[in-house]
């Protein structure tokens, strides 16, 4: 018996605030959102960049570049202790919820992998399939600007795509989406649903979401976090200093949206509201827009230009027991 592929998908965009710098409480919100999305028939749900336990907004507001600062050391240590260690089972409940509700998940985390010694931090994008298995962990290739004071550069191991019904889904973290070769690596693996995750900000998503859709002739869902100054828990170290340095009501105002393969909006950027956004997409639209342009197919010239991708997981240690 041939099982027909699902050609239409329901997407869940979790534009919600983390319990900032609290891994356990934030992952509890993830579980609740997965259940809510599944109840609305979602096949895939995505969360913002660095969602668990949160984006390091304090760096640019507390002189994060001051060398050997005791304040920065304490903030970083707190952050590291709240980071996600996949090997320690921190995502087991998320995997179980994904399996229970038959829903795929893209989750932005701050990862502290034992495979790299267990002390450095990586901005990672985890894909969990509808069977509850982790399909890939993509570590951000190059942290942006002040992020480099907290996060380490990643590698190409997570530049992978995954089948989801008739779709092939892949994704990148924040400003990685501006990197043409990283995008091309996913296009060449058949990507036709691109997931771009962001800490939050309409200024990030309003242009690039439609641009990537037009370039790739794919659906693009940009999923942003949300964070008000009033959301910052008083338990965070140097709470008073961080809050005093914040301007305005929002540190991240959302901007989640979905563009179709012709670049037109399916969901326009949503700002300043915490919400689980639901969108519906049809794979037939991909074929329609690939008729005149396909960047990795009939409109490519591999005899002239090719991309080489190193997907080896980088480590300082190779054990030969």
Question: Which pLDDT tens digit goes with each residue over 63-78?
Answer: 999 999 999 999 999 9
Catalytic residue among 140, 191, 202, 214: 140
For residue 53, say if its preceding peptide bond is cis, omega within 30 degrees of 0: yes
DSSP type of residue 46: E
Is 174 noted as a catalytic residue in this protein?
yes
Asked if residue 182 has pLDDT above 80, the reply is yes
Whether residue 96 lies inside any domain: the answer is yes
| Phi and psi, residue 223, nearest 5° | -120, 120
Asked if residue 96 has pLDDT above 70, the reply is yes
Pairing of strands 193-198, 167-173: parallel
Whether residue 137 lies inside any domain: the answer is yes
What does the pLDDT look like over 13-34, one tens digit per residue?
999 999 999 999 999 999 999 9
Catalytic residue among 49, 147, 215, 289: 49
| Phi and psi, residue 297, nearest 5° | -115, -120
Asked if residue 94 has pLDDT above 90, the reply is yes
Whether residue 309 lies inside any domain: the answer is no
What six digits make up the tokens of 292?
A: 């005149």
Residue 4: band (very low, low, confident or very high) from pLDDT cuts 50, 70, 90? confident
Structural domain harbouring 193: 8-290
| Cα 294 to Cα 265: distance, rounded to the nearest angstrom | 20
Q: Tell me what the mean pLDDT of segment 123-140 comes to.
A: 98
Global confidence as pTM: 0.96
Is 246 noted as a catalytic residue in this protein?
no
Q: Tell me what the mean pLDDT of segment 26-52 comes to.
A: 98
Q: What integer best gives the mean pLDDT of the chain? A: 97
Asked if residue 3 has pLDDT above 70, the reply is no
| Count of alpha carbons within 13 angstroms of residue 281, beta-carbon side | 35
Catalytic residue among 33, 95, 174, 257: 174
Whether residue 306 lies inside any domain: the answer is no
Residue 1: band (very low, low, confident or very high) from pLDDT cuts 50, 70, 90? low
Give the CATH number, domain containing residue 148. Answer: 3.60.110.10
Whether residue 318 lies inside any domain: the answer is no
Whether residue 2 lies inside any domain: the answer is no
Q: Tell me what the mean pLDDT of segment 225-234 comes to.
A: 97
Residue 312: band (very low, low, confident or very high) from pLDDT cuts 50, 70, 90? very high
Asked if residue 303 has pLDDT above 80, the reply is yes
Q: Tell me what the mean pLDDT of segment 206-211 comes to.
A: 98
Q: Tell me what the mean pLDDT of segment 171-187 comes to.
A: 98
Q: Tell me what the mean pLDDT of segment 230-252 comes to.
A: 96
**Percentage of residues in the chain having pLDDT higher than 70:** 99
Whether residue 172 lies inside any domain: the answer is yes
Residue 2: band (very low, low, confident or very high) from pLDDT cuts 50, 70, 90? low
Whether residue 51 lies inside any domain: the answer is yes
For the chain, the domain total comes to 1
Is 257 noted as a catalytic residue in this protein?
no
Give the count of beta carbons closer than 10 Å to the beta carbon of residue 268. Answer: 14
- pLDDT value at position 5? 87
């Amino acid at each position: 018996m041939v099982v027909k592929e699902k050609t239409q998908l329901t997407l869940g965009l979790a534009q919600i605030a983390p319990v900032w710098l609290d891994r356990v409480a934030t992952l509890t919100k993830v579980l609740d959102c997965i259940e809510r999305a599944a109840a609305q028939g979602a096949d895939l749900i995505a969360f913002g960049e660095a969602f668990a336990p949160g984006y390091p907004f304090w760096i640019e507001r507390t002189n994060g570049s001051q060398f050997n600062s005791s304040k920065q050391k304490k903030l970083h240590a707190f952050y590291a202790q709240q980071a996600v260690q996949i090997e320690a089972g921190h995502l087991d409940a998320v995997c179980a919820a994904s399996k229970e509700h038959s829903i795929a998940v893209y989750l932005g985390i701050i990862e502290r992998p034992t495979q790299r010694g267990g002390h450095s931090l990586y901005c990672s994008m985890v894909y969990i399939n509808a069977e509850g298995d982790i399909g890939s962990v993509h570590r951000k290739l190059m942290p942006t600007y002040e992020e480099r004071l907290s996060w380490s550069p990643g590698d190409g191991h997570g530049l992978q795509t995954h089948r989801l019904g008739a779709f092939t889904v892949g994704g990148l973290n924040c400003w990685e989406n501006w990197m043409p070769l990283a995008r091309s690596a996913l296009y060449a693996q058949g990507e036709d649903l691109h997931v771009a995750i962001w800490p939050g900000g309409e200024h990030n998503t309003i242009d690039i979401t439609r641009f990537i859709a037009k370039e790739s002739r794919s659906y693009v869902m940009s999923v942003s976090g949300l964070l008000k100054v009033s959301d910052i828990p008083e338990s965070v170290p140097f709470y008073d200093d961080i809050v005093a340095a914040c301007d305005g009501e929002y540190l991240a105002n959302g901007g989640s949206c979905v563009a179709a393969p012709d670049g037109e909006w399916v969901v326009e950027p949503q700002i300043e509201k915490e919400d689980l956004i639901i969108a519906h997409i049809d794979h037939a639209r991909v074929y329609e827009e690939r008729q005149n342009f396909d960047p990795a197919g009939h409109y490519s010239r591999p005899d002239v230009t090719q991309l080489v991708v190193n997907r080896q997981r980088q480590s300082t240690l190779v054990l030969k027991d």
